[in-house]
Structure 1
Amino acid sequence: MDLNGKTAVLTGAAGGIGSAMAEALAGAGVRLVLVGRNAQALQALAGRLGGQHLTVTADLASDEGRQRVQRCCAALPDGIDILINNAGISAFGSFDAQTPALLTELLTTNLLAPMLLTGQLLALLRQAPRGLIVNVGSAFGAIGYPGFVGYSASKFGLRGFSEALRRELADSSVGVLHLAPRATATAINDARVNALNAALGNRIDSPAVVADALVRQLRSERPRAGIGRPERLFAFLNGLLPGLLDRALARQLPVIRRILAP
């Protein structure tokens, strides 16, 4: 897709990855509908970007929030071309210590809200000559990881949603893409996650790396994209020979349990 002159809805726009995506997309000539819960942060981001970008303050976990986004998009004279479901949360901890409220929030924010928002904007995307949906997942959406049980479940679900919807819309003008970043340096990671990455020697990308990958994927319309060569290999092996990953992650478990210990 030629991005210049296109209009994109970007959720989670005020976060670390979201703001980097906004800057990269604006630099490619995209007009943005910036969606998030923090009105002040959205306005500041729009001010930095310049141009004719819009902001929508909305909690996408609520019907009213999603309807607010839909109304804004429906009012645009030229409609929308792209929806980027980027908003998400993470949680690191033993599964037996994660409360029902936390698990509900993980699944609602990372899976149900993107599904419902996509459903509400799909008719508008169909009106574009070419519409694209990008669901921003995670390497843990292909590799179930200890300490991230609820998060992994939500991202596995998002990957499945992307795959099924892409196949369902294969005979339409709307494409569905899935982007899977690996560990990224943002405020979503608490001190324990940073300690875990350091202890295991995990590579950590900057938000700009993820944003650049998004722009490349939109231009190529590649259905699936992962960031990081070892992570892509591990995801492939997990699908083909999951026992290998079972044994490899079992060796990491003492380190994970040590960092999880109170």
Structure 2
Amino acid sequence: MKIDDCRVLITGASGGIGQAIAEALCGERAQVLLVGRRTAPLEALSRRFPGRVDIVQADIRTTAGRQAVEGAAEHFGGVNCVINAAGVNRFCLLENHDEDAIAELIGLNVTATLQLTHRLLPMLRRRERAVVLNLGSTFGSIGYPGFSAYCASKFALRGFSEALRRELADTHVRVLYVAPRATRTTMNGDAIIAMNADLGVTMDDPSVVASAVVKALRHEREEVYLGWPERLFVRLNQLLPRRVDQALRKQLPVIKRFAGTRS
């Protein structure tokens, strides 16, 4: 797609990656509708890019929130691109997890994302060309200790992206999936940062993810995985999962040390 022809709706726009994506798209002269629960970050972007940004405060986990987003999109003049970037993470061992937190994570990362996409699909299908871009994770392809609930949600999102892409193959709506590796955002707290430093895991700046999203949109790349050796491990996990089991077994004492506190 031509980025300056894009009318983009971004969920999770008040988060670090969502803001970086919005900034990158505005820099490419796209029109952007920002969706988030916190208005201050959205308003700051609106002031930076006058005439390019509209905002809607909404909790997409609720029916009323999704209705507000749909209404804002219609008032915006419609959209031809939906970027599902809303999400939450929890780092702890499953036995220490909180049941309500698990439900909240799955509810936002999976259920609300599917429900909002379902609601917006008729609007996308009215366009000559349209895109749904789902922001996944390396952990949508590799089950990683300490992130069992998060991995479950991102595996689901990857499966949703694949199925919807095939479902819409005879239409002009394209479905893309971009999978970042570890990223420096407030969603990844001190324990994750410390663990990654101990394990020598690279963490990207949100701007790296934003650049990859813009490139994926421009070239309509169906699947994009960020980072090396993460891309290698994704492939290796598909072909030789026992090798990945062995590698992660060696990391397990370090992971448990940082994930040992209750969520």
Cα distance in 1 for residues equivalent to 2:101 and 2:115:
20
Shift of 1:51: 2.4
- CA drift of 1:76 comes to 3.3
Q: 2: distance between equivalents of 1:208 and 1:41?
A: 16
SS at match of 2:142: coil
- The 3-state SS of whatever aligns with 1:90 is coil
Amino acid aligned to 2:197: A
- State whether structure 2 residue 55 is matched by structure 1 residue 55: yes
Q: Residue 23 of structure 1 aligns to which amino acid in structure 2?
A: E
* Equivalent residue letter for 2:14: A
Write the letter of the residue equivalent to 1:40.
A
Deviates more, 1:250-259 or 1:145-154: 250-259
Work out the CA distance in 2 between the residues paired with 1:133 and 1:226: 17
What amino acid is aligned across from residue 49 of structure 2 in structure 1? Answer: L
Cα distance in structure 2, aligned partners of 1:5 and 1:169: 21
The alignment's TM-score, normalised by the length of structure 1, stands at 0.98
- C-alpha distance in 2 between matches for 1:24 and 1:165: 26
Contact kept in structure 1, 2:29 and 2:52, CA below 8 Å: no
Give the 5 Å matches for 1:1-262.
Answer: 1-77=1-77, 79-262=78-261
Partner Cα distance (1:22, 1:235) in 2 = 28
Q: Which consecutive unaligned segments of at least 5 residues does structure 2 have?
A: none
Hey, what's the Cα distance between the residues in 1 that align with 2:205 and 2:132?
Answer: 23
> Offset at 1:197?
0.4
Output the CA distance in 2 between the equivalents of 1:261 and 1:7. Answer: 44
Q: What is the deviation of 1:226? A: 0.7
**Distance in 2 (alpha carbons) for counterparts of 1:141 and 1:52:** 32
Tell me whether 243-252 or 43-52 shows the greater mean CA deviation. Answer: 43-52
Contact kept, 8 Å, 1:143 with 1:235, in 2: the verdict is yes
Contact 1:183–1:204 (8 Å) recurs in 2? yes
Whichever residue aligns with residue 162 of structure 1, its letter is S
Identify which range, 144-153 or 32-41, moves more after superposition: 32-41
Aligned residue pairs: how many? Answer: 261
Shift of residue 218, structure 1, vs aligned partner: 0.2
Going from structure 1 to structure 2, the CA distance change for 1:257 and 1:76 (only over 3 Å counts) comes to: closer
Partners of 2:32 and 2:16 lie apart in 1 by 16
Q: Kindly state the Cα deviation for residue 48 of structure 1 after the two structures are TM-superposed.
A: 1.7
Deviation at 1:166, TM superposition (A): 0.2
1:90 and 1:168 map into 2 onto residues whose CA distance is 29
The code of the aligned residue for 1:89 comes to V
Q: 1:4 aligns to what SS in structure 2?
A: helix
Is the contact made by 2:58 and 2:68 (CA closer than 8 Å) also made in structure 1? yes
Q: TM-score, normalised by structure 2?
A: 0.97
Asked if the contact 2:45/2:53 (under 8 Å) is kept, the reply is no
For the residues of structure 1 that align with 2:34 and 2:171, how far apart are their CA atoms?
A: 26
1:14–1:45: 8 Å Cα contact kept in structure 2?
no
| CA deviation profile, 1:101-121 (whole Å, cap 9, x unmatched) | 011011011111110000000
Q: Secondary structure at the match of 1:186?
A: coil
| One-letter amino acid of the counterpart of residue 109, structure 1 | L
